[in-house]
Structure 1
Amino acid sequence: MRTLFPPYAHPSADLALDADTWIIQGRPGRRRSVHQVLGRVDLDWGGRSLADVLADVDAWREDGVEGLFLDRAPAGEGGVGPVALTVRLAARRGLHRVVLNPGVPTHPLYRDLNVRICTFDGPWSAYQGWDGDGVQPGDGHIVHGVPTALLTAARRLMGRRGAGFGLATDASPFFVPVPEQVAVES
């Protein structure tokens, strides 16, 4: 199973370089990893303008990433057209590796886009009781907030549920570190 690190979960510094690890970077700029990097583009559940989305795609292309992570993607039939257009325009810009993250199972038409789809993105508490309706083997699962003692069990559960990529992590997307206070001399 491929490992996909969302922006809030960082691999350890001693993680060996391999083709099965993807790091999602939140913004273009200094790379935080030697692994394959996917640039995060927020689709805001289909609420962002195509011009804004394409500006992000172009910024990531200039940054030299290996692909895109289309986050907060719409999952319903009405979002297929704009997402398909984004995927096609990304490919024309040389960004062929695309992961779509609606975080839930999608309308079947999304399968025709030939991209990887993350069909679960949520907390461990929800993943434990999740029935997996609408997913296919190979889909991605991102499970956060897993108690450290249960990380191995969470990864095994992901495997039994057919996840082809993803991550079980004790990190949380809702944790915002408190910035360090800097003393200013006058």
Structure 2
Amino acid sequence: MKTLFPSYAHPAPELELDTDTWIVRDRPGDRRTLHQALGLIDLDWGSRSLADVLADVDTWRADGVEGLFLDRAPAGSGGVGPVALTVRLAARRGLHRVVLNPGVPTHPLYRDLGVRICTFDGDWEAYQSWDGDGTRPGDGHLVHGVPTAMLTAARRLMGRRGAGFGLATDVSPFLSAAAASSAGRGAHAAD
């Protein structure tokens, strides 16, 4: 399973460099890792203007990332057109690796875009009771707030549910980056 670190979770310093680890960066600038980087673009559930989204695509292309992480993506049929246009224009700019993160299963039309889709993005409690309806093997699962003692169980559950990429972490996206770094906590990858 590929490991994807969302922008709120950072790999532990001892994590070795490999092509199966993707790091989502929230801002262009100096890289702190040699892992493959995806630039974060917040689609705000489809409410951002296409011009603003494409300006972000160009910023990330100039930064040299390997692809894009389209966060808070729409999941319904009404959002397919703008997302498809964003994916096509990103590919024209050389950004072929795209991860779509609606955090829930999407309308089937999104499957035709040829991108990876993250169909779960939530906390450990919700993941345990999640039925996975509407997902496919290989989809991504991002599970945060996992108690440290349950990280192995979370990774196993992700595997049983067919996750092709993702992360189980004790970190929460609701903690500020400063609080997380001052606590000295690293994320634990789902392998």
TM-score by length of 1: 0.95
The question of 1:84 aligning with 2:84 is answered: yes
- Determine the structure 2 residue equivalent to 1:2: 2
Residues 98-143 of structure 1 show CA distances to partners (whole Å, capped at 9, x for unaligned) of 0000000000000000000000000001000000000000000000
Q: Secondary structure at the match of 1:117?
A: strand
Q: What SS does the aligned partner of 2:131 have?
A: coil
Q: Distance in 1 between matches of 2:75 and 2:32?
A: 30
Instruction: Show the counterpart of 1:117.
Output: 117
Runs of 4+ in structure 1 displaced over 6 angstroms?
Answer: none
Flag the structure with more relative contact order, 1 or 2, with Cα contacts below 8 A and sequence separation at least 6: 2
SS of corresponding position for 1:33: coil
Q: For residue 134 of structure 1, what is the aligned residue in structure 2? A: 134
Structure 1: give runs of 5+ residues left out of the alignment: 181-186
What are the within-5 Å matches in structure 2 for residues 1-186 of structure 1? 1-176=1-176, 177=178
> Shift of residue 13 of structure 1?
1.0
- State the Cα deviation string for residues 65-99 of structure 1 (Å, max 9, x = none): 00000000000000000000000000000000000
Which blocks of at least 5 consecutive residues in structure 2 are unaligned? 183-191
Question: How many aligned residue pairs are there?
Answer: 180
Alignment deviations for residues 11-69 of structure 1 (CA, whole Å, 9 cap, x no partner)? 01111111100000001111121100000000000000000000000000000000000
Look up the equivalent residue of 1:161 and give its one-letter code: R
Distance in structure 1 (CA, Å) of the matches to 2:151 and 2:28 = 30
Distance 1:138 1:71 in 2: 18
Which amino acid counterpart does residue 114 of structure 1 have in structure 2? G
For residues 48 and 33 of structure 2, the distance between their equivalents in structure 1, rounded to whole angstroms, comes to: 28
Corresponding residue of 1:183: none
Distance in 1 between residues matched to 2:170 and 2:30, nearest whole Å: 25
Larger-gyration structure (1/2): 1
TM-score by length of 2: 0.93
State how far apart, in whole Å, the 2-side matches of 1:125 and 1:30 are: 35
Q: Which amino acid aligns with 1:124?
A: W
Percent of aligned pairs sharing the same letter: 81
Letter in 1 for 2:67: G
Output the CA distance in 1 between the equivalents of 2:2 and 2:46: 27
Q: 2:83 aligns to what SS in structure 1? A: helix
Query: Secondary structure of 1:99's match?
Result: strand
